[in-house]
Amino acid sequence: MTENSRKAETERKTGETQVSVSLNLDGSGKSDIKTGVGFLNHMLELLSKHSGFDIQVSANGDLDVDAHHTTEDVGIVLGETFREAIGDKAGIARFADVSLPMQDSLANIAVDICGRPYLAYNVKFPVDKIGEFDTELVEEFINAFVTHARITMHVECVTGINSHHIAEAVFKAVARVLKAACAISPGDQKTIPSTKGSL
């Protein structure tokens, strides 16, 4: 596998949403995000910028109900696209951890790109909404992404006063930890980072 091959596109259509995602793990942090949910757009733009991944997302969902289905399904499709783009994981760092501050907030995140989905999530928001966005949807998005990317991720925010800052710290930390874990070792592009020989 070469770095240039780490691209994928995925679509998902249900009775509630229609989502398409294009992802390049070896991009330059360019994004084109259209979900119909302003705060989710903002978080995904941060994710793209700070990971260096090129991300395009187009989503149409039942926003007359609320943003839940759209947010979750974007997470699902982004996770599936990530899993396809990462391929056999040859040469990647696999493990990474990041501690990232955003003013009053501090997010700690660790990841293992291992083929086994698991999320440990410990983030508390002082309020239920950031604008019109339900703060509980941050966990819904990350859980959907982690499950369908088939990775293990531990997410915690150890301090935080402002809910917007907390969410930003989490998404920026997710971006940085994925960037580090997906990095290709310069002299070891063919080895699978596992004693089993596969991930």
* Residue 129, in any domain of the structure: yes
Strands (E) across the chain are located at: 7-13, 17-24, 31-34, 54-61, 95-102, 105-112, 118-122, 129-130, 133-134, 152-159
* Residue 47, in any domain of the structure: yes
So what's the pLDDT on residue 98?
A: 98
Structural domain including 113 reads 3-182
* Residue 21, in any domain of the structure: yes
Question: Other C-beta atoms within 10 Å of 34: how many?
Answer: 12
Tally of structural domains, the chain: 1
Q: Could you tell me the pLDDT band of residue 195, with boundaries at 50, 70 and 90?
A: confident
Determine contact, residues 104/94, Cβ cutoff 8 Å. Answer: no
* Residue 199, in any domain of the structure: no
Least confident among 85-89, 121-125, 151-155, 195-199: 195-199
CA distances from 49 to 38, 68, 112, 175 (A): 17, 24, 21, 8
Cα 144 → chain centroid: 9
Q: Could you tell me the pLDDT band of residue 196, with boundaries at 50, 70 and 90?
A: confident
So what's the pLDDT on residue 4?
A: 54
Mean local confidence (pLDDT), 90-104: 97
Could you give the percent of the chain with pLDDT greater than 90?
Answer: 90
Res. 2: pLDDT tops 50: no
Could you give the percent of the chain with pLDDT greater than 70?
Answer: 97
* Residue 187, in any domain of the structure: no
Higher pLDDT pick, 189 / 95: 95
Res. 104: pLDDT tops 80: yes
Least confident among 17-31, 141-155, 177-191: 177-191
Determine contact, residues 117/151, Cβ cutoff 8 Å. Answer: yes
* Residue 189, in any domain of the structure: no
Res. 144: pLDDT tops 60: yes
* Residue 169, in any domain of the structure: yes
* Residue 18, in any domain of the structure: yes
- Separation CA 70–CA 108 (nearest Å): 26
So what's the pLDDT on residue 192?
A: 80
CATH number of 148's domain: 3.30.230.40
